[in-house]
Amino acid sequence: MVRINYLDNAKFAAIILMILGHCSIKNEIPYCGAFIYSFHMPLFFLISGYFLKVTTDIKSGLVKYLNTCVRPYLGTMVISCCILMLCTGIWGGVFLDFLKRAFFGAAWFIDTAKFGDVPSAGALWFLLALFWASISYIIIILKVKSFLTRIVIVTLLFILSVVTIKYIRLPFSLQQGGCALLYVAIGHYINEKDLLERIYSIPLLLRIAIFVSWLPAIYFGGVSMGECNYMGKLLPVTLWGTLAGTYCFVGLIKWIGDKKYPMTTNTLSIMLAQAFLQFFQYYNEDYFHISISYTTELIILFAGSFLLSFPFKFALEKIPKVYL
């Protein structure tokens, strides 16, 4: 499939926002965090869905996404665990903690849910969510021929994920995958019907209306896909906000000009590096207790994400793939 520069650029820009979204400085700027969380993770899943290639059989899809999602997830968890055990000297405690984090994947502390007190695997949850969303969508496409039935299944899985996480936290980011499935399906539909250029050719007044409709989602704080949190009764507002926000953000990047200002990069490598650094950010609070300023935190997360992306890219290319 031909690469689309402005979608690459949008992912790159969203990575910058993701890094900012995990810095404490976001709390110092009014609505900064709400702006970022109103669309940034849905954007990744929408673009992933756009480029998703439905395999001829389920096994091929399973092999593909085990290699592209589960393998980097497990590899990054193992590397992070080993380094932290060496740094802290707390071998048993850190190892068991990482096992629990790796098993459950996403979601932070959810007071009402069973297993809601287990720490998350940090930003790595998106890999497991993408795995479940992609595999689920491939199964739906291959097994369900009716377009209307597909819509019903995707919608029900989304609602089921949002509702059940309040009561029980399922392992391996299953519920986050159920939410991500909706965005993957929309992204794939846009590609399948060749709608990408058409939706950015709509009248200016309609584009302004979409932008205005995004603002309430920012006002109410956005969404947390890691917790399947769409603000309860405000779900229609925040859900639409994720789509409107993605539309506006990608449109802005497209308007800036993908040919004049290329920003293509290896998205997965930087996201893995950023997730890796977050482990140390989280564990600093529990073990190291090192006090750092906002400026230092920004420098570490930005510079570290890009510098560490090179060894992660090398590892992804060189580590042998595991085939079923």
What is residue 282's three-state secondary structure? Answer: helix
Please tell me which residue, 230 or 308, carries the higher pLDDT value. 230
Residue 235 lies in a domain: yes
> What single string gives the DSSP state of each residue in 78-110?
HHHHHHHHHHH--HHHHHHHHHHHHHH-S----
Using the predicted structure, report yes or no on whether residue 320 has a pLDDT greater than 50. no
- 324: in domain: no
Distance (Å, whole) CA 188 – CA 193: 9
Which domain, by its residues, includes 13?
5-318
In a domain, 125, yes or no: yes
Task: Assess if residue 323 is contained within a domain.
Answer: no
pLDDT of 156 reads 97
Predicted confidence (pLDDT) per residue in 102-147, tens digit: 787 776 666 677 776 777 766 778 889 999 999 999 999 999 999 9
Torsion over CA: 111, 117, 121, 122 (sign): positive
Indicate the number of domains in the chain. 1
Confidence band (pLDDT; 50, 70, 90) for 163? very high
Q: Kindly report the length of the chain.
A: 324
Measure the CA–CA gap between 27 and 47, rounded to whole angstroms. 28
